[in-house]
Amino acid sequence: MLAYSILDRDFKMKKLLVPLVFLSMSLTNPFWVYAADTPGPDLSAATPSWLKEARKAVDNKQYDQAVKILQTANASSSADWNNLMGYALRKKNPPDLVQAEQFYQTALKIDPKHRGALEYYGELLLMKDDLPGAEKLLARLDKICTFGCEEYSDLKEAVKKYKEKAGMK
């Protein structure tokens, strides 16, 4: 009876130890804190040059330049490429919302959980006065971002501002 009691206690300890080890590993290497199209520091060397250049152009609000960089790269099988192309087309002057929407849709076909594409497509839908569509994308982000994320917060804020502007609650 004593041997059974000791074995039972050891088994319970092992059951507790395994989740604690995984939890400690995830806290020391927080891979989950990066946006969907932003590689963590370990992967920065693997980031394609076209992605770095396009992001730099977007950061500098040079959207036409970003479009040219992305067209030259022609990495249309990449969700990040499609997301950035959609973003640059939506932000340039004048915006090309029809093409931007197509690129966001393609990004989400490639990666249905692409947080950047979900956020930006939601913002585009608000520009087109499609509040229900934007709210559906916000709900998808809410499911994906278990502990919250910047993309969810940004789209939620955009929806809030849209409703305030339209006189809704």
Q: What is the CATH number of the domain that holds 85?
A: 1.25.40.10
Quick one: 84 and 95 in the same domain? yes
In a domain, 87, yes or no: yes
Residue 75's domain spans which residues?
Answer: 49-111
Domain limit, last residue, from 83, 111, 139: 111
Looking at the structure, tell me whether residues 121 and 135 fall in a common domain. yes
Looking at the fold, whether 129 and 104 belong to one and the same domain comes out as no
Q: End of a domain among 64, 96, 111? A: 111
Among positive and negative, which fits the CA dihedral 93, 97, 103, 107?
positive
- Per the structure, the count of domains in the chain is 2
- State whether 79 and 117 are in the same domain: no
Residues 135 and 150 reside in one and the same domain: yes
| 54 and 86, same domain (yes or no) | yes
Q: Which of 74, 83, 69, 8 is nearest to 38 (CA)?
A: 83
**Cα 95 from Cα 102, distance rounded (Å):** 13
Whether 61 shows a pLDDT value over 80: the answer reads yes
Instruction: State whether 150 and 166 are in the same domain.
Output: yes
Exposure string of 9-27, with b = 16+ CB inside 10 Å and e = fewer, is eeeeeeeeeeeeeeeeeee
pTM (2 d.p.): 0.73
State pLDDT tens for residues 24-34: 544 444 444 44
Q: Are residues 70 and 104 in the same domain?
A: yes
List the one residue out of 87, 144, 154, 148 whose CA is nearest residue 114.
144
pLDDT digits (tens, 9 = 90+) for 67-116: 999 999 999 999 999 999 999 999 999 999 999 999 999 999 999 999 99
What is the share, in percent, of the chain residues with pLDDT greater than 90? Answer: 67
Closest listed residue to residue 66, CA positions, set 99, 35, 45, 89:
89
| 119 and 103 in a common domain | no
Shared-domain flag, residues 148 and 129? yes
